[in-house]
Amino acid sequence: MTSMKVAIAGATGAAGIPMIQELLAAGHLVTALTRVGSSGASKLPSHPNLSIVAVDYESISSLTNALEGHQAVVACFGVATPIGSQDVLIDASVVAGVSRFFPAEFGTDTDNSRCANLPVFANKVHALEYLKKKVQANPGFSYTALCPGAFLDWGLKHAFFVDPKTHSATIYDGGNLPFSTTTLTTISKAVVSILAHLEETQNRHLYIHDAVVTQNQLIAIAKKIDGKDWDLAHTTTSSAEASAYEELEKEKPDPMKFLFPLLQVSVLAEGYGGDFSAHLDNKLLGIEGMDDAELASLMARYL
């Protein structure tokens, strides 16, 4: 594959660090952008093909200078960054002649209207609309919105779907809804593969997963490994959603009470498009998925 210059914005977070590793492993030249004054750079590996550049995400000149000569930009800002936080980065990418922009998606299906209407995705939806306008006006510019579903390893570590560490879980709607899920390594490899398939992946959502699982299946896998009982609470996604909206009505909403719950709704509730099986792009990107033994071996790391 031809080596490209790829910039990662929000490079020092959960998604950015493994992405840097896979891009470097594939022979690309990587620029990690971090905010001026951030100490995040200390988390990055040292590598001859990795440059670290401090930028001001509100300054078009700061970003354009940093992006000069790059073919691709991957935005990995966290989900809680405010609406419009990717706009200047997108503008600077156009000015610098970048050809492929990956908005900070990397989750559930923002092309599904119920999912897109969740307030936690307002920034993602705004960025997609902004990108589509820029792509129309600039023929050399394109985007890919990569949807891997819930992060599998991150989700097990952070008790997003079930908590293997404490053998406990809140089960939503009975726990049998299948959802797509992908490890950070596979997501990062998918980004590398998209750069090798620019034509087929331009200006659209792309769907990948390592596996489709349910909450109950994850618990069954864990039980098979260590035989321990689980402490389960039961609720519904509709009540989680209602409580989150109640919290959002408050003058100072507590993100703990609406952010995680609404993200869980986007994965675990029916009608939000969380199972990508019917429109999967794994084959195009060379993603093989995980079998039961691989899933069990991953689960064992978090028990």
Ligand X SMILES: NC(=O)c1ccc[n+]([C@@H]2O[C@H](COP(=O)([O-])OP(=O)(O)OC[C@H]3O[C@@H](n4cnc5c(N)ncnc54)[C@H](OP(=O)(O)O)[C@@H]3O)[C@@H](O)[C@H]2O)c1
For residue 82, the minimal CB distance to ligand X (Å) is: 7
Collapse the DSSP code of 202 into the 3-class scheme (helix H, G, I; strand E, B; otherwise coil) and give the result: coil
- Tell whether residue 130 is a contact of ligand X (CB under 6 A): no
- Tell whether residue 175 is a contact of ligand X (CB under 6 A): no
Site for ligand X in 135-174 (CB under 6 A): 150-151, 154-155
- Tell whether residue 257 is a contact of ligand X (CB under 6 A): no
Q: What is the distance, to the nearest Å, from the Cα of residue 12 to the centroid of all Cα atoms in its chain?
A: 14
CB 1 within 8 A of CB 27: yes
Nearer to ligand X, 104 or 287 (CB): 104
**DSSP collapsed to 3 states, 227-258:** CCCCEEEEECHHHHHHHHHHHHCCCCCCHHHH
- Tell whether residue 78 is a contact of ligand X (CB under 6 A): yes
Range in contact with ligand X (rule: CB under 6 A) among 66-74, 79-87, 165-173, 220-228: 79-87
Nearer to ligand X, 27 or 78 (CB): 78
Count of residues of this chain found to bind ligand X when the rule CB under 6 A is applied: 25
- Tell whether residue 3 is a contact of ligand X (CB under 6 A): no
Distance separating the N- and C-terminal Cα atoms of the chain: 38
- Tell whether residue 131 is a contact of ligand X (CB under 6 A): no
Alpha-carbon dihedral angle through residues 140, 122, 274, 195, given to the nearest 10 degrees: 20
For residue 9, the minimal CB distance to ligand X (Å) is: 7
The edge-to-edge listing of strands for the beta sheet with 204-207 is: 50-55, 29-35, 5-9, 72-75, 100-102, 142-147, 204-207
- Tell whether residue 79 is a contact of ligand X (CB under 6 A): yes
Nearer to ligand X, 17 or 94 (CB): 17
For residue 112, the minimal CB distance to ligand X (Å) is: 14
CA distance 156 to 161: 7
CA distance 206 to 7: 20
| Residues at the site binding ligand X, with contacts judged by CB under 6 A | 10, 12-16, 34-35, 38, 40, 57, 76-79, 81, 85, 104-107, 150-151, 154-155
